[in-house]
Chain A
Amino acid sequence: MRINARIGRLLAVLAAAFAVTVHADINVGVTLSATGPAASLGIPEKNSFALLPTTIAGQKVNYIVLDDASDTTTAVKNTRKLIAENKVDVIVGSTITPNSLAMIDVVAEAETPMISMAASSRIIEPMDAKRYWVFKTPQNDAQMATAIVEHMTNNNVKSVAYIGFADAYGEGWWNEFSKIAEVRKIQIVANERFNRADTSVTGQVLKIMAAKPDAVLVGGAGTPAALPQKSLKEKGYKGMMYQTHGVANADFLRVCGKDCEGTLLPAGPVLVAGQLPDSNPIKKAALEYVNKYEAAHGKGSVSTFGAHAWDAAKLLASAVPEALKKGQPGTREFRKALRDALEATRNVTAAHGVFNLSAQDHLGFDQRARVMVRIEGGNWKLVQ
């Protein structure tokens, strides 16, 4: 029996030794919303992780992908689990803003860098001791809203009606858009809400029609954003239509059909990668992603959401080699060094734009990260 116990102890020591070598891999913990209301954003993100290279700077990278079902509590639970059990070096996620905001406390406490794939600027602003650890890849709502307002003023739009989701997305867009529109002297004549699963928006649409706006902005994501637009067309609305970058996937075009002709929206350049001028450095980076994704999932399957996951990996690919000089993966030093290296990212060209981060700006996109797009003949057309 005693010999058995000794062998057992020996095995335990050996296992521990192996465990140390296993930990020399870089572990990336991912929590995203592949089910629940945000599934149309989370699924392409999940698919994108399967396309990523499995080594960075010669080190093996493990992506541990968990689903948080678009639920805040689950996102926090996933984050704790990834940090405590999988000893991850960096957290990527989550897909949506409420989840990402809730995760900030957890990653700051564990001193683990986090790269969010959600849109709101509140995830990284205002910069404080906790957001010190937090980065994000999607363009801020404010940046996209500015693009819309700019286009409106250039096209002589004087009055706008807004109809958005009755959730964080619609509310966030309302806040950004109304602020910027007020500065630019665009009058907002109606402010309506609808739900993702609504079967009818007739009431809201009639109210908007009664206000006679020059243009209508729909603050929604994915196919649900087609409903107000179709209802407006049905009731005889003839003015301009704006959507947000949340609708930038092929399913939206399929559901909205010919009722969406002429609709304008701001989007990341990856949506119209093939139409960008060759001089644009983003074209090559974006096409690389588009080709990879479509090779795996079929033509026309690419959406801009998955590219946010791809871009997070781009940030990591440029930061990890720096961090490896300071420490071994799995240690506190490595995580700290990784955070510092992420913040020092300069001129990294990704699918959505060029990253130039700083201590105050943990996104680091400039004007190149957004383009205006028009729906023409059932396709996305770059507006020059």
Chain B
Amino acid sequence: MDLQIALLLGQDGLTNGAIYALLALALVLVFAVTRVIFIPQGEFVAFGALTLASLQAGKLPGTVWLLLALGVLIGVLEGSRAVRAGQLRRLPLIVLLNVGVPLLLAGTLIAVSPATLPLPVQVLLALMLVVPLGPMIYRLAYQPVAEASVLVLLIVSVAVHVALTGLGLLFFGAEGSRTPPFTEVSFAVGDALLQGQTVLVIVASLGLIIALYLFFERTIYGKALRATAMNRTGARLMGISGTLAGMLSFTLAALIGVLSGILISPITTIYYDSGFLIGLKGFVGAIIGGLASYPVAAAGAALVGLLESYSSFWASAFKEVIVFTLIIPVLLWRSLKTTHVEEQ
């Protein structure tokens, strides 16, 4: 292994590590605010990438129908609750928000051929299609059991993950897709070429992390999320709605997932079930951060990416073994270092 190979591997590891770091941040965020271990996080990566790919292939992505179906379900749920409470005035808004908007989106997609639109518009459409699924899933699957134990929430997560993977196979088929790169620029590093797209991934991830930092530090909603993460009961006493915090954290998690998917789909093939493994590696990063510390989680995820890259060079057959074995010493170290407090 000469210096050039070492550098290329390092660059590759950091590219993947940046994506894992984004997912690790989303996992920490969701867990801190809602105590949900969000296994379906990776599905948003796959759904985002594949929705964009089907838009570019001129096909109507199946996520439209999922959005519509979830919208109708929530509309019925909220609508019947409003009727029971006698608040008939709220009905039009509920219907408009949950059914009208998805219908409008579906109508737009059928009316214009998305394949001819410029790339930024396609990306925007993919975001509009997939990101709302985050809060919708929270509303349907997690909000009714929001006060349950971590274990129950984890089991719900597994169920949501399995359901979404199955739907992914139905929507996008078994074969994978790639999207064209955002930039064709490439730099010569010694004899080898460095693709502009991989640099873009790292830069965009860093930008997103900074944006998240500013959101948590500077905005009232970000502060509300931090307050909920710190002390749920205390935050509620101060007038911060637990439901709103949950919705918001799931929206952010979905947004991060979809953006990650859109960023990496030009450099790798994404399948309907790719998300799980990507999410799991982000999870290893999040575990290194104890599901609590954002900077440690991001650094851990970068470490996972680097470890993966170098181990694929030295012992490609054992790559996954090496990456996931990392979690054992980390857990050992954490359990020795911290005193365990029983939940609830």
- Taking a contact as CB atoms closer than 8 A, the residue among B5, B16, B276 that contacts A199 in the complex is B16
Q: Is the CB–CB distance between B313 and A206 below 8 Å?
A: yes
Nearest opposing residue in chain A for B4, CB measure:
A206
Asked if B312 and A204 sit within 8 Å, CB to CB, the answer is yes
Could you tell me which residues of chain B, from 273 to 296, have a CB within 8 Å of some CB in chain A?
273-274, 276-278
Interface size class of A (residues with CB under 8 A): 35 or more
**Chain A interface (Cβ within 8 Å of chain B)?**
35, 37, 39-40, 42-43, 163, 166, 192-204, 206-207, 210, 222-224, 226-227, 234-236, 249, 251-252, 254-255
Q: CB distance B269 to A203 under 8 Å?
A: no
> Are the C-beta atoms of B191 and A197 separated by less than 8 Å?
no
Which size bracket describes the interface of B in this complex? Answer: 35 or more
How far does the alpha carbon of A249 sit from the alpha carbon of B174 in the complex, in Å?
12
Assembly CA distance A207 to B317 (angstroms): 13
Q: A35-B166, A200-B268, A224-B176 are in contact. Are A193 and B16 (CB under 8 A)?
A: no
Within the complex, the shortest CB–CB distance from A206 to chain B, in Å, comes to 5
A235-B309 in contact given A40-B174, A199-B274 (Cβ < 8 Å): no
Of listed B169, B191, B269, B311, residue having the most chain A CB within 10 A: B269
Say if the beta carbon of B173 comes within 8 Å of chain A. Answer: yes
From known contacts A197-B271, A200-B309, A227-B268, infer whether A236 and B175 are also in contact, taking CB-CB under 8 Å. Answer: no
Taking CB atoms, residues of chain B closer than 8 Å to A39 are 169, 174
Of A203, A204, A210, A255, most buried by chain B (CB within 10 Å of CB) is: A203
Tell me which residues across on chain A come within 8 A of B191, comparing CB atoms. 236
Q: A197-B273, A200-B312, A203-B12 are in contact. Are A235 and B193 (CB under 8 A)?
A: yes
Q: In the complex, which residues of chain B have a beta carbon less than 8 angstroms from the beta carbon of A206?
A: 5, 8-9, 313
Write the chain A residue with the least CB distance to B277: A197
15 interchain pairs, CB-CB under 8 A: A37-B273, A166-B317, A193-B316, A197-B271, A197-B276, A197-B277, A198-B268, A199-B267, A199-B268, A202-B12, A203-B310, A204-B312, A206-B8, A207-B313, A222-B175
Across the interface, name the chain A residue whose C-beta is closest to B314: A203
Interchain CA distance A201-B16 in the complex, whole Å? 11
Residue B15 interfacial (CB < 8 Å): yes
Binding site for A on B (CB under 8 A): 5, 8-9, 12, 15-16, 19, 166, 169, 173-178, 191-193, 195, 264, 267-269, 271, 273-274, 276-278, 308-314, 316-317, 319-320
Q: Roughly how many angstroms separate A196 CA and B174 CA in the complex, as a whole number?
A: 12
Q: B312–A223 contact, CB under 8 A?
A: no
The answer to whether B316 and A223 touch across the interface, beta carbons within 8 angstroms, is no
Q: Which residues of B contact A196 (CB under 8 A)?
A: 271
Distance in Å: Cβ of B166 to nearest Cβ of chain A: 7
What residues on A are CB-neighbors of B176 within 8 Å?
A: 222-224, 251, 255
What total of A-B pairs shows CB separation below 8 Å? 108
Q: How far is the CB of A219 from chain B (nearest CB, A)?
A: 12
Smallest beta-carbon distance A197→chain B, Å: 5
Beta-carbon contact of A195 and B319 below 8 Å: yes
A residues near B166, Cβ cutoff 8 Å: 35
Which of B19, B271, B277, B312 is within 8 Å of A202, CB to CB?
B312
Query: Looking at B174, B178, B264, which has the most chain A CB atoms within 10 Å of its CB?
Result: B174
Question: What is the bound-complex CA distance between A196 and B274, given in angstroms?
Answer: 9
Nearest-neighbor residue (CB-CB) of B166 within chain A: A35
Please give me the residue from chain A that is nearest to B265 by CB atom: A199
Report how far A192 CA is from B192 CA in the complex, Å. Answer: 21
Partner of A223, one of B12, B192, B269: B269
Q: A43-B174, A199-B19, A234-B195 are in contact. List 4 more A-B contacts (CB 8 A).
A: A200-B15, A200-B16, A224-B271, A234-B193
Q: Nearest 6 CB-CB pairs, A to B?
A: A203-B312, A39-B174, A203-B313, A251-B175, A202-B12, A40-B174
Measured between beta carbons, the chain B residues less than 8 angstroms from A204 are 312-313, 316
Assess whether A227 is in contact with B269, with CB atoms less than 8 Å apart: yes
Query: How distant is the Cα of A326 from the Cα of B310 in the complex, in angstroms?
Result: 63
Residues of A with C-beta under 8 A to B311: 203
| B320-A195 in contact (CB<8A) | yes
Q: Point out the residues of chain A lying under 8 angstroms from B264, CB to CB.
A: 199
Cross-chain contact A35 with B175 (CB below 8 angstroms): no
Most buried by B among A40, A194, A197: A197
Partner of B9, one of A197, A199, A202, A227: A202
By the criterion CB–CB under 8 Å, are B309 and A203 in contact?
Answer: yes
CB distance from A373 to the nearest CB of B (A): 19
CB distance from B43 to the nearest CB of A (A): 13
Tell me, rounded to whole Å, the shortest Cβ–Cβ distance linking A293 to chain B: 16
Of B15, B175, B178, the residue contacting A249 (CB under 8 A) is B175
With both chains docked as a complex, state the minimum distance between the C-beta of A226 and any C-beta of chain B, in angstroms: 6
Interchain nearest-CB distance for B1 vs A (Å): 8
Which residue of the partner chain B has the closest CB to A225? Answer: B269
Contacts of A194 in B (CB 8 A): 312, 316, 319
A250 to chain B, nearest CB (A): 9
Is the CB–CB distance between A197 and B274 below 8 Å?
yes
CA distance A6 to B273 in the complex (A): 57
